[in-house]
């Protein structure tokens, strides 16, 4: 694997380090991330007080005023949210808040297998079975649902949409639409890339702000910060860039999540094996909590996850969390089988393709998104993985840095029946008879893009360290940059001046632990995942590419290097 490192101007690093009173390592990482000096302190110390006025978000005040009217009239309200973590957490926040303010909103989540994605006509018909509400609120969907909004309006419901998906057609106009991508505002950089749960938090902030101005007793008693556990989960799981207000939500929300009092989240953490005494990090959401919430929407009914997050009944929460855990294990088994077959397809038929479009009649459309992510990472190419849904091939796509899937699919739109999403993650549906046409077009668009060089595989180094610099003190400095995630990737360091003391210890036949010495003879330990077929030599100077983290064991915390690649020094 090629190691790429682009040095940052040394004088700029030194000047920023002196200005902030931090180390050159942190200063280089800030400059590499594009954080300007004027915003560096705010980046290192993101405070809730620096959240912007919610009413600066276009149409948010209109939505707040409509909610105030619903409260005054005790109207019937229905909330429909998407079936992923962002949609589930958004629905849970809004329903919980409206309940506390005196309404009894109905809520539902689309059933993926029968109703498809988002604000579909079939989901609306189910929502209206008990009568038409006065106000219908769609969360994490609806931007492109003009016909469906018209259907609701014809039945007598007014509509609010809170969404962050790009518009692939003229957006719904007969609704109050909160979506910074459709309605940008001057100087909205801090919140332009919020996912829906962040926008719902700002909607809640605006609603409480107006109610508190009227000395509303319940509004005065609500602690808005208590909702940040759900905001952090949706923000991290939805892979939005952790800059601006997203960074504030993730940083503070992870702390609230670690101390959450929601019985549903506590039960979910228990079945996930999470221990919160050392705090939580984004990967705890990405790999433990998020997949279990998503499993219900992929294989069952995502309303189950909303029920869990809203429930105050410990017995119900324990049983439901166990059910989600079982669904997640089932999902993992299905994904494992699909991934193996998808990899065979690539190896046998599509090795030369610049972009991958894979389909199989036997694949479950509800689980192919994670498979697309695995295929995309393994082959370092944008990947679309599709399953069978009647006459349609339907599924998800995942991207890589340098390729915007929304723009790529826009160039293929005449092949598709439906699509939408984000630059790094999309949903796709098309008639099976057009698969070959779409596959060729997708590959051609990627192949001819001007930024095609961005897709070349390689390991991007954030900086170089001497082994003597890999210390607990450095770890303390790096903690200022947490949480890492989309738009603020965990740094990968090249480390020089290391020799292994002993032969690496292989475990489970594919991983190994190792221990090295720096120039002073100090011992540094690490672990390598799935690299047991490539053991570094003993006693020979090597260079390693690593990520640095804390290893917690038996109440002790030790620095651990996670090895990504190695090479003999000087090669």
The pLDDT assigned to 456 comes to: 54
What is the Cα 224 distance to its own chain's centre? 22
**Residues near 219 by Cβ (< 8 Å), separated by ≥ 6?**
101, 207, 208, 211, 212
266, 288, 323 — which closes off a domain?
A: 323
The residues with which 545 forms a beta bridge, in sequence order, are 494, 565
pLDDT of residue 166: 85
Question: Does one domain contain both 433 and 467?
Answer: no
> Which pLDDT score is estimated for 94?
98
Q: What is the C-alpha separation between 311 and 316, in angstroms, rounded? A: 8
318 and 432 belong to one structural domain: no
Q: Which domain holds residue 355?
A: 350-455
Same domain? 478 vs 432: no
In this prediction, residue 457 carries a pLDDT of 61
> pTM for this one?
0.88
For residue 41, being part of any structural domain is answered with no
Q: CB–CB of 449/354 below 8 Å?
A: no
Are 174 and 149 in contact by the 8 Å Cβ rule? The answer is yes
441-462 confidence digits (pLDDT tens): 999 999 987 554 444 567 899 9
pLDDT at 458: 75
What is the rounded distance in angstroms from the CA atom of residue 251 to the CA atom of residue 483? Answer: 6
Domain harbouring 364, CATH code: 3.10.310.30
Count the Cβ atoms, other than its own, within 10 Å of residue 216.
Answer: 18
Q: What is the pLDDT of residue 343?
A: 97
**Are 266 and 410 members of one domain?**
no
| Residue 36 covered by a domain | no
Same domain (yes/no): 106, 184:
yes
Residue closest to 31 by CA, chosen among 4, 10, 5: 10
Domain tally, the chain: 3
Residue-by-residue DSSP string for 248-307: HHHHHHHHHHHT---HHHHHHHHHHT---TT---HHHIIIIIHHHHHHHHHHS-THHHHH
Identify whether residues 133 and 227 lie together within a single domain.
yes
Helix (H) or strand (E) run with residue 398 in it: strand 392-398
Which secondary-structure segment (H or E) carries 512? strand 511-517
Strand partners, 160: 137, 176
Can you tell me whether residue 5 is helix, strand or coil? Answer: coil
* Cα separation, 336 vs 326, whole angstroms: 15
Contacts of residue 318, defined as CB under 8 A and 6 or more positions apart, other chains included, come to: 267, 270
| Res 38: pLDDT | 87
For the chain, residues with pLDDT lower than 70 are 450-457
- Same domain? For 387 and 499 the reply is no
Q: What is the CATH number of the domain that holds 299?
A: 3.90.1640.30
Q: How confident is the model at residue 117, as a pLDDT?
A: 79
What CATH number did the domain enclosing 504 receive? 2.40.50.460
């Amino acid at each position: 694997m090629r190691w790429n490192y682009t040095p940052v101007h040394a004088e700029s690093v030194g000047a920023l380090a002196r200005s902030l009173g931090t180390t050159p390592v942190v200063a280089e990482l800030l400059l590499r991330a594009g954080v300007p000096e004027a915003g560096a302190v705010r980046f290192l110390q993101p405070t809730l007080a620096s959240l912007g006025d919610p009413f600066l978000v276009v149409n948010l005040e209109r939505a707040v005023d409509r909610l105030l009217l619903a409260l005054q009239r005790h109207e019937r309200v229905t909330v429909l949210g998407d079936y992923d973590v962002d949609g589930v957490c958004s629905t849970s926040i809004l329903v919980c808040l409206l309940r506390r303010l005196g309404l009894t909103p109905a809520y539902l989540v689309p059933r993926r297998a029968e109703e498809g994605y988002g604000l579909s006509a079939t989901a609306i018909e189910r929502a209206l079975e008990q009568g038409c509400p006065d106000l219908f609120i769609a969360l994490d969907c609806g931007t492109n649902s003009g016909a469906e909004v018209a259907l609701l309006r014809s039945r007598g419901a007014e509509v609010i949409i809170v969404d962050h998906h790009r518009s692939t057609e003229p957006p719904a106009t007969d609704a109050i639409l909160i979506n910074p991508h459709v309605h940008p505002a001057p100087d909205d950089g801090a919140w332009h890339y919020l996912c829906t749960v962040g926008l719902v938090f700002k909607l809640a902030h605006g609603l409480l702000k107006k109610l508190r101005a009227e000395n509303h007793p319940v509004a005065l008693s609500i602690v808005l910060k208590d909702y940040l556990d759900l905001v952090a989960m949706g923000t991290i799981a939805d892979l939005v860039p952790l800059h601006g207000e997203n960074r504030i939500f993730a940083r503070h929300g992870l702390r609230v999540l670690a101390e959450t009092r929601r019985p549903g989240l506590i039960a979910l953490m228990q079945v996930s094996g999470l221990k919160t005494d050392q705090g939580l990090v984004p990967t705890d959401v990405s790999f433990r909590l998020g997949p279990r919430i998503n499993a219900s929407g992929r294989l069952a009914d995502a309303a189950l996850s909303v029920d869990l997050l809203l429930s105050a009944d410990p017995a119900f929460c324990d049983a439901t969390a166990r059910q989600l855990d079982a669904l997640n294990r089932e999902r993992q088994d299905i994904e494992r089988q699909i991934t193996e077959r998808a990899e065979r397809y690539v190896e046998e038929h599509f090795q030369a393709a610049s972009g991958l479009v894979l389909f199989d009649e036997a694949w479950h459309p509800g689980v192919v998104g994670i498979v697309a992510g695995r295929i995309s990472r393994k082959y370092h190419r944008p990947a679309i993985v599709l399953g069978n849904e009647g006459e349609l091939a339907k599924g998800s796509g995942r991207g890589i840095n340098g390729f915007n899937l929304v723009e790529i699919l826009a160039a293929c739109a005449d092949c598709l029946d439906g699509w939408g999403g984000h630059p790094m993650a999309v949903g796709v549906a098309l008639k099976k008879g057009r698969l070959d046409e779409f596959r060729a077009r997708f590959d051609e668009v990627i192949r001819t893009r001007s930024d095609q060089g961005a897709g070349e595989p390689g390991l991007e180094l954030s900086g170089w360290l001497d082994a003597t610099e890999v210390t607990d003190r450095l770890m303390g400095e790096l903690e200022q940059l947490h949480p890492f995630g989309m738009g603020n990737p965990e740094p990968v360091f090249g480390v020089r001046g290391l020799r292994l003391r002993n032969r690496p210890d292989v475990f489970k036949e594919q991983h190994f632990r190792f221990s090295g010495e720096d120039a002073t003879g100090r011992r540094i330990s690490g672990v390598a995942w799935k690299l047991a077929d490539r053991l570094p030599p003993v006693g020979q100077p090597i260079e390693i590419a690593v990520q640095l983290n804390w290893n917690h064991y038996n109440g002790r915390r030790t620095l651990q290097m996670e090895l990504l690649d190695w090479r003999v020094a000087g090669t």
